[in-house]
Amino acid sequence: MILDTKVRYLQVAFNDDIDLVRRVLPTIIPSNRILIEAGTPYLKREGMQGIFEIRRRWPGQIVADLKTVDGAVDEVIMAWEAGATAATVLGNSPTETLNLFIETCNRHNMVSMIDMLGVHDPLKVLLPLKKPPQVVVLHRGRDEENTHGKVIPYKHINRIRSKYDVVISAAGGVTLKEARSAIFNGANMVVANLVKPGHIWKGISTETDVGTLAREFLTTIE
């Protein structure tokens, strides 16, 4: 699978359980501009079966948010066998892990994504690599969303783009307003979390018409 750096994408993240997938995913109209994410909490709860359940209901791209830190080959293959077409690795992982992750993704026709959560300078992660990933994720973590002054680090976009032709994704508390900001700052993918009522995190409420909001996001980032 190859993503087009000239296209703007929406990634919708499921972080709860299979019941939510069964209820909400059928409301989202398939589009080659929408990726469905099996989020890290979802994977920890449901395992690879969680990816399989998404694949039963979604014909397009599926991201396994593994946040791999070691054992890259095995983790990528597990996700691929379950039906994922993309996966994530943490930028703080050893360079050897990052290289193996990207190589294994390429071998299985998967989209490789490096999540720069907690990384001070993404270029220092990218420059030693044998090959770049397809996607660089600039990520403000969930636990950082409500910390005053913590923002998605858009300042890195131009520096990355000056050296690499990659898709740049913005993640972490993305609302429609933040999605507009992300595109204005040069990102070409936004990640919106599905959030249950009562959570302090920002995203798309699971009690809204998620399918309609997904289409609104696509129009916003057009």
pLDDT at 197: 84
Q: Is position 4 within any domain? A: no
**pLDDT, one tens digit for every residue, the chain (222 residues):** 789 999 999 999 999 999 999 999 999 999 999 999 999 999 999 999 999 999 999 999 999 999 999 999 999 999 999 999 999 999 999 999 999 999 999 999 999 999 999 999 999 999 999 999 999 999 976 766 666 667 889 999 999 999 999 999 999 888 999 999 999 999 999 999 999 887 777 889 999 999 999 999 999 998
Domain that holds residue 102: 9-220
List, as one string, the DSSP characters of 58-105: --S-EEEEEEE-S-HHHHHHHHHHHT-SEEEEETTS-HHHHHHHHHHH
pLDDT at 147: 65
Q: Is position 69 within any domain? A: yes
72-82 and 48-57 helices cross at what angle (nearest 10)? 40
pLDDT at 108: 98
Q: Is position 1 within any domain? A: no
CATH number at residue 96: 3.20.20.70
Domains in the chain: how many in total?
1
Q: Is position 3 within any domain? A: no
